[in-house]
């Protein structure tokens, strides 16, 4: 009996170690390698003790100023996409939570179905349209695209969160003479803050990291950070791994810390978004 318990615990510990290695090793490896001097990056087994250097970051700054332009573009696009998605989904989520009709139910199914169309499908017709409208290579186009692919999930999430706010609050405010926009802004929004954060986490992570749309719709002015990194990977004269790791670290760290800080909202969002249509 005692042996069995020992074996079970040993097995669990081993499993936990494997899970941690699998999830964290590649991330820690990239971050720590970005501080390793030249040849130590390639040392096997990897060196965990070394004199950290900022050489790769200096090179990144000197040779890839376009990367920092990319970070700037990513920031603008991410803020834009998150704002559009949060505002649109809060408004729509409120309607779906407070009213119901056959038409609304049908439109909710429409909402969920549309979200499942592969993004690459719409690039095909949008590419010439965006070019003709003179919107190619702008922050605006990326923000709108990113927001659109998250308003469905956002609406469903906001509905679930707003459902938990008692209707009596709306009614009391309405009796005091508040109009609907005022109720939404003064009563609902503060109480639905966790939902808003959950929606924001999804959009921010997606917009900050997205590759396909940025690849197709931007070329110079609005080029985002992931696109610049992809160019580093693909450079013909061989990859400069140190600089690539430095750029990856800079691109990754903010969003990684954000996800870690927001993990509660992410989990709440994932579960209610996928299972409560």
Partner 1 sequence: MKTSSLWRMMPLLAPTQLLLISVIVIPSIYVVWLSFHASTYGQAATFVGIENYIRVLGDPGFHSALWNTVVLVVVAVHLELLIALGMALLFNSGLWGRRFLLVAVLAPYAVSEVVAVAMWRFLFDQGVGPITVLLNALGLPALEWSYEPSHAMIMIAVLTIWMHLPFTFVILYAARLALPSDLYEAARIDGATRLQSFRRVTMPLLGPAILVALLFRYIFAFRMFSEVWLLTGGGPARTTEVVAVYLYQEAFTYSAFGPASATAWIMVAVSMLLASGYILLLRRQVKNAA
φ/ψ of 165, rounded to 5, equals: -90, 125
- Residues contacting 161, CB < 8 A, separation 6+: 93, 192, 194, 195, 198, 272
Locate 106 and state its tokens: 């049908």
- Does 92 bind partner 1 (CB under 8 A)? Our answer is yes
φ/ψ of 194, rounded to 5, equals: -60, -40
Helix, strand, or coil here: 246? helix
What is the C-alpha to C-alpha distance for residues 207 and 147, in angstroms, rounded to an integer?
A: 8
Instruction: Closer to partner 1 by CB, 59 or 123: give it.
Output: 123
- Does 259 bind partner 1 (CB under 8 A)? Our answer is yes
Select the residue interacting with partner 1 from 211, 219, 221, 235 (CB under 8 A).
Answer: 211
- Does 153 bind partner 1 (CB under 8 A)? Our answer is no
Q: Provide the minimum distance between the beta carbon of 65 and partner 1 in the complex, in angstroms, as a whole number.
A: 19
Instruction: Closer to partner 1 by CB, 117 or 193: give it.
Output: 117
- Does 186 bind partner 1 (CB under 8 A)? Our answer is no
- Over the window 24 to 53, marking each residue x when it contacts partner 1 by CB under 8 A and - when it does not, the resulting string is x-xx-xx-----------x-xxx-------
- Does 265 bind partner 1 (CB under 8 A)? Our answer is no
DSSP 133: T
Select the residue interacting with partner 1 from 55, 197, 209, 240 (CB under 8 A).
Answer: 209
CA-wise closest residue to 228 among 67, 98, 109, 105: 67
- Does 252 bind partner 1 (CB under 8 A)? Our answer is yes
Q: Provide the minimum distance between the beta carbon of 239 and partner 1 in the complex, in angstroms, as a whole number.
A: 8
- Residues contacting 193, CB < 8 A, separation 6+: none
Query: Binding segment for partner 1 among 21-29, 61-69, 132-140, 161-169 (CB under 8 A)?
Result: 21-29
Chain mean position to CA 157? 15
Query: Binding segment for partner 1 among 18-26, 60-68, 75-83, 165-173 (CB under 8 A)?
Result: 18-26
CA-wise closest residue to 111 among 99, 103, 121, 122: 103
- Does 198 bind partner 1 (CB under 8 A)? Our answer is no
* Radius of gyration in angstroms for the set of CA atoms belonging to the chain, rounded to a whole number: 23
- Does 165 bind partner 1 (CB under 8 A)? Our answer is no
Select the residue interacting with partner 1 from 157, 245, 246, 265 (CB under 8 A).
Answer: 245
- Does 230 bind partner 1 (CB under 8 A)? Our answer is yes
- Does 229 bind partner 1 (CB under 8 A)? Our answer is yes
Which parts of 62-81 interact with partner 1 (CB under 8 A)?
none
């Amino acid at each position: 009996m005692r042996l069995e318990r020992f074996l079970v615990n040993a097995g669990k510990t081993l499993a936990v170690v494997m899970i941690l290695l699998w999830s964290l090793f590649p991330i820690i490896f990239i971050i720590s390698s970005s501080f390793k001097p030249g040849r130590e990056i390639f040392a096997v087994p990897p060196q965990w003790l070394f004199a950290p250097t900022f050489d790769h970051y200096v090179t990144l700054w000197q040779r890839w100023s376009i990367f920092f332009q990319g970070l700037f573009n990513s920031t603008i696009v991410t803020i834009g996409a998150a704002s559009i998605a949060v505002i649109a989904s809060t408004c729509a989520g409120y309607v779906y939570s407070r009213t119901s009709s056959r038409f609304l139910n049908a439109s909710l199914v429409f909402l969920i179905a549309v979200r499942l169309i592969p993004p690459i499908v719409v690039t095909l017709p949008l590419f010439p349209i965006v070019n003709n409208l003179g919107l190619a290579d702008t922050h605006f186009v990326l923000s709108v695209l990113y927001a659109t692919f998250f308003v469905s999930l956002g609406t469903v999430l906001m509905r679930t969160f707003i459902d938990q706010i008692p209707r009596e609050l709306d009614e009391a405010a309405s009796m005091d003479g508040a109009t609907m926009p005022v109720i939404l802004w003064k009563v609902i929004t503060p109480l639905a803050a966790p939902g808003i954060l959950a929606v924001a986490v999804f959009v921010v992570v997606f917009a900050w990291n997205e590759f396909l749309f940025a690849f197709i719709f931007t070329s110079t002015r609005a080029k985002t950070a992931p696109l610049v990194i992809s160019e580093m990977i693909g450079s013909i004269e061989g990859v400069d791994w140190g600089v690539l790791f430095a750029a990856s670290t800079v691109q990754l760290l903010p969003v990684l810390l954000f996800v870690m800080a927001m993990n509660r909202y992410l989990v709440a969002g994932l579960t209610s978004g996928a299972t409560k249509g």
